[in-house]
Structure 1
Amino acid sequence: MAWTFTTELDELPPAADAWLRGDPTRNTVALTVLARGRSGLWGGGAMAGWYADGESVRGVVLHTPPYQLLVPDIPLDIVPSLAEALRDLPLPGVGGPRAQAEAYLSAAGRTEASRMSMRMYRLAELRPHSATGAARRAGPGDLDLAAGWMRDFLLEAEPENADDPYPQTRARIGAGELVLWEDAGRPVAMAAFSTPIAGMSRVGPVYTPPEHRKHGYGSAVTHAVSRAAKDAGATSVLLFTDLANPTSNAIYQALGYRPLTDYATIFFAAGDRPAG
């Protein structure tokens, strides 16, 4: 019974893939990050790990520098061994279901500098919106606009992760995952969805520039991208909200999203070192 790690994501054993796909809702982020990593989006620094008990896999984790360690819905009893195995890895933080993220923080003996508390929602019945305008898929000619908005979104919502937005934006446009909302012939908001995996698709990011807010465009583009995910074959459409933003939580619930569970991204104190 031990953790095994690899920087070759295609070497993840079939049993580890099967473990992730066994609960595509709770493991939504890991599944999409793994898919993008295998496509080369994360370069050569991505790492995957799995915990095997004989031929049975009990948990999978991912790390794509410079981001936080991604801990999916792994059993809490294997978290201490994970923290020990990664003791020498300079991690900036950990993210996942709140219980797993907090368990890793404690087991690793790290000091919490800050955290982002999030709530996962799942679409029940898609409800209408009232904004004017129409949706369209973003194309190659929208790259500069969309990448600029992606950068603005990251600086506003996740400044710790505000790296070069072009590779991710280019990939999402190429995959047909990015949707723009236009009103009076001009783009006013954007949103993306993930290509369905095991019937699951996740909406995000959703961004409306400050000058276009308070017109319902965020709700409209979320409606459009949710419909696009369902049209692409998703049977479970998910999204995350920042619990510090009551407006977005209310908007998504009005569209038919229902809360499932809470997640957390915990950032470690600068210069902090694991205990022991």
Structure 2
Amino acid sequence: MLWTFTGHVDGLPDGVEHWLRTDPARNTVPLTVLGRMRAGLWADGATLGWLTADGEVCGAVVHTPPYPLLLADIPVDSVPALADAVRGREISAVSGPCPQAEVFAEVSGLTEVDRTRQRLYRLQALSPASSTGAPRPAGEADVEPVAAWMRAFIAEAEPGSSGSDPLPQMRHRIDQGEIVLWEDGGRPVAMAGFSRPISGMSRIGPVYTPPGLRGRGYGSAVTHAATRAAQEAGGEVILLFTDLSNPTSNSIYQALGYRPLSDYISISFSPGDQRA
């Protein structure tokens, strides 16, 4: 097996996306990121890798610094070779299915400082949600407020994160019709995003309610609305990630009809602890 890399999304062989699309659920994040890169986001400094065996693509990874190295559902026995191939690169974290990400952390020689366990859920049948208010798609006038909520979401979910400003990403997603707001009393009180379907797969996220407005059912209601929007956009496989340390969000999404599919993990490394 051989790992090959490029710094440009146009440099990827056609077989890479074809391989990712063979399991769009478990490869949801790399597929979505590649789609954003083709739209002009996260292109600077990116590293895209693919694994071949007997001339056929059988794995892929995506790295858009300062975000984690994203592992698709690659063969576990290919991970040590991947760790050697990215030796010396600035990798702040690795994220992917638990077995692959844990092997990478073990063999990389990098010092682990934190880990976040996530569970990938898939919608079975959407159940009703109840709250006062109603949904609407975010528009141009919502770009700045939505970006501010996204900054708050990142600060809460990833304390100390040094990721790039989410404003361009949120502007793009609003232009694509991917952000749903929940309004109550004439003002937005929560938001949820969904990704435009790729091979029938759409992923819900982020979901955010400001702290002072929580406990009123807004998060559940806006997630329900975003799920409906994903279905109306052609989504047949609807996914979402939850932090396993947050029992509230896990119970809310299961009440809406989402069921566990697979476990993932994000492992952070000590800054500057890169191998020569």
TM-score normalised per structure 2: 0.97
* RMSD between aligned residues: 1.2
Q: Who is 1:106 aligned against? A: 106
Q: How far 1:45 moved relative to its partner?
A: 1.6
Q: Which runs of 5+ in 1 are unaligned?
A: none
Please give the alpha-carbon distance, in whole angstroms, between the structure 1 residues aligned to 2:8 and 2:263: 31
Please give the alpha-carbon distance, in whole angstroms, between the structure 2 residues aligned to 1:129 and 1:237: 17
Partner letter of residue 95 of structure 2?
G
**Partner secondary structure for residue 237 of structure 1:** strand
Q: Who is 1:209 aligned against? A: 210
Please give the alpha-carbon distance, in whole angstroms, between the structure 2 residues aligned to 1:270 and 1:185: 44
**Partner secondary structure for residue 173 of structure 2:** helix
Please give the alpha-carbon distance, in whole angstroms, between the structure 2 residues aligned to 1:266 and 1:74: 17
Task: Give matches, 1:12-27, under 5 Å.
Answer: 12-27=12-27
Please give the alpha-carbon distance, in whole angstroms, between the structure 1 residues aligned to 2:230 and 2:74: 27
Q: Who is 2:262 aligned against? A: 261
Q: How far 1:161 moved relative to its partner?
A: 4.8
Q: Who is 1:243 aligned against? A: 244
**Partner secondary structure for residue 115 of structure 1:** strand
Please give the alpha-carbon distance, in whole angstroms, between the structure 2 residues aligned to 1:162 and 1:214: 29
Q: Who is 2:73 aligned against? A: 73
Q: Who is 1:232 aligned against? A: 233
**Partner secondary structure for residue 67 of structure 2:** coil
Partner letter of residue 227 of structure 1?
R
Please give the alpha-carbon distance, in whole angstroms, between the structure 2 residues aligned to 1:163 and 1:115: 20
Count of paired positions: 275
Q: CA offsets per residue over residues 216-266 of structure 1, 9 Å max, x none?
A: 000000000000000000110000000111000000000000011110000
**Partner secondary structure for residue 33 of structure 1:** helix
Please give the alpha-carbon distance, in whole angstroms, between the structure 2 residues aligned to 1:13 and 1:271: 32
Partner letter of residue 183 of structure 1?
D
Q: How far 1:162 moved relative to its partner?
A: 4.3
Question: Is 1:92 the equivalent of 2:89?
Answer: no
Q: Who is 2:121 aligned against? A: 121
Q: Who is 1:182 aligned against? A: 183
Q: How far 1:106 moved relative to its partner?
A: 1.3
Please give the alpha-carbon distance, in whole angstroms, between the structure 2 residues aligned to 1:271 and 1:184: 48
Q: How far 1:271 moved relative to its partner?
A: 3.3
Please give the alpha-carbon distance, in whole angstroms, between the structure 2 residues aligned to 1:110 and 1:144: 37
Percent of aligned pairs with the same amino acid:
59
Larger CA deviation: 59-68 vs 49-58: 49-58
Q: How far 1:88 moved relative to its partner?
A: 1.2
Q: CA offsets per residue over residues 116-148 of structure 1, 9 Å max, x none?
A: 110000011100011011000000011111111
Asked if the contact 2:67–2:163 (Cα under 8 Å) also holds between the matched residues in 1, the reply is no
Q: How far 1:64 moved relative to its partner?
A: 0.3
Please give the alpha-carbon distance, in whole angstroms, between the structure 1 residues aligned to 2:14 and 2:49: 13
Please give the alpha-carbon distance, in whole angstroms, between the structure 1 residues aligned to 2:249 and 2:187: 23
Please give the alpha-carbon distance, in whole angstroms, between the structure 2 residues aligned to 1:148 and 1:203: 19
Please give the alpha-carbon distance, in whole angstroms, between the structure 1 residues aligned to 2:120 and 2:136: 26
Please give the alpha-carbon distance, in whole angstroms, between the structure 2 residues aligned to 1:93 and 1:184: 41
Please give the alpha-carbon distance, in whole angstroms, between the structure 2 residues aligned to 1:140 and 1:105: 41
Asked if the contact 1:95–1:264 (Cα under 8 Å) also holds between the matched residues in 2, the reply is yes
Q: Who is 1:82 aligned against? A: 82
Asked if the contact 1:134–1:183 (Cα under 8 Å) also holds between the matched residues in 2, the reply is yes
Q: CA offsets per residue over residues 3-28 of structure 1, 9 Å max, x none?
A: 11111101211111111001000000
Asked if the contact 2:66–2:163 (Cα under 8 Å) also holds between the matched residues in 1, the reply is no
Please give the alpha-carbon distance, in whole angstroms, between the structure 2 residues aligned to 1:149 and 1:85: 37
Q: Who is 1:38 aligned against? A: 38
Partner letter of residue 147 of structure 1?
A
Q: Who is 2:171 aligned against? A: 170
